Structure 1
């Protein structure tokens, strides 16, 4: 059993790293894409308000 533990821990480590990388990719793309939409919405709201 002690010989099988490192493989399990490596698999868990790779799974957590992959999940963390996917979350970081999603957050990065959302932060990269959203500011333009927020600026467009903010400008439209200002045009409508004024």
Structure 2
């Protein structure tokens, strides 16, 4: 599933299976990816912002 120009604020992706997803030009603000399955996940021109 492709996601483009999305904004994620304090989203918790912990323990989720995100394998094979494609993110383009997305912004992740204070998000958690702890123990998420990111196999073959692509982040293209994305921003990861911590506090």
Report the structure, 1 or 2, having the larger helix content: 1
Q: TM-score, normalised by structure 1?
A: 0.16
Report the structure, 1 or 2, having the larger strand content: 2
